[in-house]
Chain A
């Protein structure tokens, strides 16, 4: 071993590492493997779903531990979106700033595109991705304009009362039996401005800069 000073050793090591780097492939870690079997089990166990009423509860309780992503077109988003949703079309999803330690809830019109986006995010290594079961349509039908129950048991009446209250919170109203829930053109449910959660859009990405 040649007799080198500390500084000279450091220089040699640095130059060797630097030279070796020329053939290096630093993006090796960005490719994650898709475990097909694991994904199949998740889908089958319905662990990746959130129902529209559940989501409504989260919003009403002011929960902020999730990101709600609306992957529809911006015109549809502008017309009405679930409160707190961020509009990210699928092609922007890969670049959009999302953290892998966040729960991501996706919804589309009916649910098919959301399911596809679900696979995309799973492939990118996001552990906590969910879709809204039934998508935006389910929000209209089950949250905004819930149908009156056909039966009149105490349980279903209590449930319906709850659904009414939820609908009122979001500016909707129940519909009679047999009616189709339709997003009213004129009476667009306005976002409830008294709830602090809904007012402050949870788009605040944590600062990572200096």
Chain B
């Protein structure tokens, strides 16, 4: 049933744009999108008393993987144990895991409606696909370490922690922008 909804959405979007003679639809006004995002975040706070997140879900995945491969090693490591024993039973029965599943669906749906879904590799003109993928992996790795050090990522710490005015979250947010701007010149060949 979900597959039919998705394909119908894509067909509707494509049909609309075929009428208009345009390609992928323009993005939503960023401020309106921000309000939408903020309302979703607000709803989470009001209903659950907590904010959003993303990196925690992937930590659960890693923890489960490590436990499957080397159970004693995983159990001996406090970091993994924290995600394996989340008070819920199975580590995948976690708020963040289900939220990330929703993230995939929501992202796909929006892209489908706007005709922006396509199999591609995002990169600038001056770098090869292989180079881009290598850097994507490296960037992900850096972010993996960074997000665990900071106990969150932009969704969890910056957005959610920022909205409740946590000092650490705001400091974190500033550093993210600082770090990205600092390195931007050196990786400009990837994007510009």
Contacts and interface: CB of A to CB of B under 8 A. Distances in A.
Direct contact of A and B (CB under 8 A): yes
A100 to B, nearest CB: 9
B129 interface: no
A7 B29 contact: yes
24 contacts: A6-B31, A6-B32, A10-B32, A10-B35, A200-B85, A204-B85, A204-B86, A204-B87, A205-B87, A206-B87, A206-B88, A207-B82, A207-B86, A207-B87, A208-B49, A209-B53, A210-B53, A210-B56, A210-B96, A210-B152, A210-B155, A210-B156, A210-B157, A210-B160
Contacts of A7: 29, 31
Closest 7 pairs between A and B when the two form their complex, measured CB to CB: A210-B156, A210-B152, A210-B53, A204-B87, A208-B50, A206-B87, A10-B31
Which size class do B's interface residues fall under?
A: 20 to 34
Nearest to B56: A210
Interface of A: 6-7, 10, 200, 204-210
Most buried by B among A204, A209, A210: A210
Nearest to A208: B50
B153 interface: yes
B40 to A, nearest CB: 16
Interface in B84-107: 85-88, 94, 96
B114 interface: no
B56 A207 contact: yes
B92 to A, nearest CB: 13
Q: From DSSP, what is the main secondary structure of chain A's interface residues?
A: loop
B113 interface: no
A131 B39 CA distance: 41
Contacts of B96: 210
Interface centre among A10, A200, A204, A207 (most CB of B within 10 A): A207
B108 to A, nearest CB: 23
Contacts of B155: 210
Contact of A209 (B49, B56, B85): B56
Please indicate which of the listed interface residues B55, B87, B147 has the most CB atoms of chain A within 10 Å of its own CB: B87
A200 B89 CA distance: 12
Given A206-B87, A210-B151, A210-B160, A6 B29 contact: yes
Contacts of B147: 210
A200 to B, nearest CB: 7
Contacts of A209: 53, 56, 151-152, 156
Nearest to A205: B87
B14 interface: no
A123 B26 CA distance: 53
